[in-house]
Structure 1
Amino acid sequence: MRLLLRVLAPLLALLLAVAGLALVVETVTAWVAPASSPLVVPWPAWRSAIEGLTWQSGSVRAVAIVVGVVGLFVLILGLVARRHDVFLADPVPEVTVTTSPRSLARAVGHEVRSHDDVVSASVVASSSKITVKAATLDPAEEVRAAIRDRVTEMLVRLPLARRPRIAVSVTTTKGVK
Structure 2
Amino acid sequence: MRITNRLLAFLLSLGLTLGAVLVLIEIVARAVGAKPIVLDWPGLHRWASGTTWGSGFVRLIGGALAIVGLLLLVAQLKPRRPHRLRLEPVDPATDAAVTRRGLARTLRNAAIEVDGIDDAHVVVGQHHVRLRAEIRDGTAPAVDSLHQAVASAAQHRLDALRLATAPTLSVRISNGEQH
Query: Is the pair's TM-score, using the shorter chain for normalization, greater than 0.5?
Result: yes
Per-residue Cα deviation, 1:15-73 (whole angstroms, up to 9, x for no partner): 4466579889x9xxxxxxxxxx9999755533543443555725632553255236625
Unaligned runs of 5+ in 1: 27-36
Aligned ranges 1:4-153 → 2 under 5 Å: 4-13=4-13, 15-16=15-16, 45-50=43-48, 51-55=50-54, 57=56, 60-61=59-60, 64-65=63-64, 68-69=67-68, 72-73=71-72, 76=75, 84-136=83-135, 137-153=140-156
Aligned residues: 169
* CA distance in structure 2 between the partners assigned to 1:173 and 1:12 by the alignment: 45
Q: Per-residue CA shift, 1:100-151, capped at 9, x if unaligned?
A: 1111100001111111132221112233221111122344344223322322
Q: TM-score with structure 1 length normalisation?
A: 0.66
SS at match of 2:13: helix
Distance (Å, rounded) in 1 between the aligned partners of 2:102 and 2:65: 40
Identity %: 22
How far apart are the structure 1 equivalents of 2:170 and 2:54? 54
Task: Give distance in 2, aligned partners of 1:173 and 1:52.
Answer: 67
> What is the rounded CA distance, in whole Å, between the counterparts of 2:20 and 2:44 in structure 1?
17
Q: Measure the CA separation in 2 of the matches of 1:113 and 1:68.
A: 50
Letter in 1 for 2:150: I
Over the aligned positions, Cα root-mean-square deviation in angstroms equals 4.2
Give the TM-score, by structure 2 length: 0.65
Gaps of 5+ in 2: 27-34
Contact 1:5–1:78, Cα closer than 8 Å, also in 2: no
